[in-house]
Structure 1
Amino acid sequence: MEIRFAEKEDLEQIITLFRETVLAISRNDYNSEQLSAWANRSDSKDLWLRRISEQYFILCYKGNDLVGFASLKDDDYVDLLFVHHKSQGKGIGKLLLNTLTDHVQSLGGKSIKSHVSKTAKPLFETLGYKVVSPNIVRIGEVELTNYLMKKEMIEN
């Protein structure tokens, strides 16, 4: 597996992975209206380009295939974490989250947090994140539940 920074030329691959993953993986946690609203967030290319240029945005490749991506906002907030629906359960999410955590620690951060979907919650819990509170996200008229989760860093 290779981790590298995202570039604007990666935009189409990132958007495709995001959309396909939301629609394929989260079916057991969200209804079709919620999934459609969430997946349609991929339509805003300007938002994605801003994330790539402003955030600590990393990609994970296996050979020539993009298998996941993650981003860090404001030096301590996991904004994005998505693993391709055909690459689930292979340690990619853990690798991406650990890479973000290492970066936060290198900056002197004491904790890392994220708003985490129902689908991703078990992964975050496995890696030591604790639920701070449930949260409701509104996308237009559609509401989705996620969780504010936080992990305290262990001092070395």
Structure 2
Amino acid sequence: MEIRRITRQDLPALTELFKRSVFEIAGRDYTPAQCAAWTLNAENPQWAERFLSTWTIGAFIADQLAGFANLKSPTQLDCFYVHPDFQRQGVGSALFKAVSEQAQKAKAAFLESDISLTAEPFFRAQGWMALHRNKIQREDQILINTTMRFTFPRMENTAVF
């Protein structure tokens, strides 16, 4: 698996991965109408373009985009999606490790994100804590997600004798 920054050439695959992930994976917890409202903006080319101006990485397996994640700021995880064909193959864990390392390089003490009902178990397993539930209005649909936080362990100054 190769983890690298997303390029302009990756944007069509990123958009397709996003839509498939929402409909095929998150569709277990959200209705088709909710998934359609969630992905509506992905039809606009500017939706994907925004990933070129933020720290966005992709996980590639055999040159295929298997997942992507981006940081909107050092403490704000914006998007985190794994392709339906690459679920439970370590893609999410590899992306989380890379995102965590980048945030810590930027001296972030924590990460926060609005996490879908579907992704909550993964993030809880990584040590994230729920802060509060949200009701998001998209078109005529209400989407439920949870604001979650991951706090990086503090590195204590320890003397070595």
Q: Give the alignment's TM-score, normalised by structure 1.
A: 0.95
Q: Does 1:106 align with 2:92?
A: no
Q: Percent identity?
A: 27
Q: Is the 8 A contact 1:29 1:119 kept in 2?
A: yes
2:159 alignment partner in structure 1? none
Unaligned stretches of 5+ in structure 2? 156-161
Larger of the two Rg values belongs to structure:
2
Q: Distance in 2 between matches of 1:134 and 1:98?
A: 25
- Cα RMSD, aligned residues only: 1.0
1:48 alignment partner in structure 2? 48
1:33 alignment partner in structure 2? 33
1:117 alignment partner in structure 2? 116
Aligned residues: 155
Unaligned stretches of 5+ in structure 1? none
Quick check: 122-131 or 135-144, which moved more? 135-144
Q: Does 1:148 align with 2:147?
A: yes
Q: Is the 8 A contact 2:111 2:151 kept in 1?
A: yes
Which residues in structure 2 correspond to 1:63-142 (within 5 Å)?
63-142=62-141
Q: Is the 8 A contact 1:19 1:40 kept in 2?
A: no
Q: Amino acid of the residue matched to residue 68 of structure 1?
A: G
CA deviation after TM superposition for structure 1 residue 53, in Å: 2.2
Which runs of 4 or more aligned residues in structure 1 lie more than 2 Å from their structure 2 counterparts after TM superposition?
Answer: none
Quick check: 125-134 or 86-95, which moved more? 86-95
Quick check: 5-14 or 124-133, which moved more? 5-14
Q: Distance in 1 between matches of 2:49 and 2:27?
A: 27
